[in-house]
Structure 1
Amino acid sequence: MKRKPSLLLAASLAVFWLVLNDSVAPTDLLVAALVAVVVPLFAAPLKPPGGPVRKPAVVARLVLRVGHDVIASALQVGRGALQPRSRPPRGVFISVPLELRDTHGLAALAVIATVVPGSLWTELAPDRSAVLLHVFGVDDEAAYVRDFKARYERPLMEIFE
């Protein structure tokens, strides 16, 4: 199925063209209309297809979980930064094996892993079988992997696969 350019995008491009030129002369209106038609046509093949989002209840639970984790982790990182310690938190690289294969799900997982303070998505294996995360303050790597998969990967698999 061939996708059609967005009417909102076309209108926005035309308005943007007119604002940039600071004119509504007939020639500028003509060029704005041309830009509004031609640019979306050439850009349409670049737009990726939308992801198959299923199970809105799982999406809602995941959003709440990530929100909670962001706040809790930010407080923990802030507390660790403000309290003097004899030993600062140790950063480690942890490889997490993945079952998730959907590209939209992997993109969502990358955002989640990076938005939670204290963790950062650093590398995805070429075959998408594992992700390398940099995390702070992890004592038990196996428990972290189990928790990461249960909290984030499994719900994303329910949503996207």
Structure 2
Amino acid sequence: MRRLFPHPVLTGVLMVMWLVLQQSIGLGQILLGGAVATAVSLAASPILPERVRFRRLLSLLQLVAVAGIDIIRSNIAVLLILINPRAEPSAGFIKMELQLTNQFGLAVLACLLTATPGSAWLEYDGERNTVLIHVLDLADKDEWIATVRHRYERLLLEIFQ
């Protein structure tokens, strides 16, 4: 079974994404989505050195909820900046050291920071384990770092390490 599904989490996520994008749970879409997800999982096997393992599923659900709320709040904040003619956002860069070292956890953190309007993951230094982040409206650098550490990195450490 492991030979057919070397990365079952990847296969499952791709299958769900296929069905959501197709907006159908018909038998044909399930079979086609399953075939595509299995093929991609098999093709990705040589470049993925390890399997994804979730340590705490409750933390994963909490991360999804926290990130969803943060993305909605950030969308509203960016919208208010854009529609306010007097707004002068103070964009800036943050270089922060991470405790997270798991490559899947780092990938999820990069996606979360980039998917949140007003911030973007720019560069990762693997030797120093630091990340460079651009923030559209950087009022307090320390507060922003604390937010990333406590809202995302802490949960990702619980999930992946």
TM over 0.5: yes
Instruction: Give the conservation status (yes or no) of the 8 Å contact 1:3–1:44.
Output: no
User: Quick one: distance in 1 between partners of 2:123 and 2:112?
Assistant: 14
Aligned to 1:98: 98
User: Quick one: distance in 2 between partners of 1:132 and 1:77?
Assistant: 20
Aligned to 2:46: 46
Q: Note the alpha carbon deviations across 1:45-71, whole angstroms, 9 max, x for none.
A: 425232111211111111000000000
TM-score computed with the length of structure 2 as normaliser: 0.71
Aligned to 1:31: none
In the alignment, structure 1 residue 111 sits paired with structure 2 residue 115: no
User: AA paired with 1:62?
Assistant: L
| 1:131 Cα deviation from its structure 2 partner | 0.4
Q: Structure 1 residues 56, 94: closer, same or farther in 2, change over 3 A?
A: same
Q: Structure 1 residues 76, 132: closer, same or farther in 2, change over 3 A?
A: same
Q: Structure 1 residues 44, 122: closer, same or farther in 2, change over 3 A?
A: closer
Aligned to 2:3: 4
| 1:83 Cα deviation from its structure 2 partner | 1.3
Q: Secondary structure at the match of 1:46?
A: coil
| 1:3 Cα deviation from its structure 2 partner | 4.7
Instruction: Report the RMSD for the aligned CA atoms in angstroms.
Output: 2.3
| 1:126 Cα deviation from its structure 2 partner | 2.9
Aligned to 1:59: 60
In the alignment, structure 1 residue 77 sits paired with structure 2 residue 78: yes
User: AA paired with 1:146?
Assistant: A
TM-score computed with the length of structure 1 as normaliser: 0.71
Aligned to 2:135: 135
Aligned to 2:23: none
Q: Secondary structure at the match of 2:67?
A: helix
| 1:130 Cα deviation from its structure 2 partner | 0.8
User: AA paired with 2:68?
Assistant: G
User: AA paired with 1:73?
Assistant: S
Q: Structure 1 residues 43, 140: closer, same or farther in 2, change over 3 A?
A: closer
Aligned to 1:26: none
Count of matched residue pairs:
127
Aligned to 2:19: none
User: Radius of gyration: which is bigger?
Assistant: 1
Instruction: Give the conservation status (yes or no) of the 8 Å contact 1:94–1:133.
Output: yes
User: Quick one: distance in 1 between partners of 2:83 and 2:43?
Assistant: 48
Instruction: Give the conservation status (yes or no) of the 8 Å contact 1:4–1:44.
Output: no
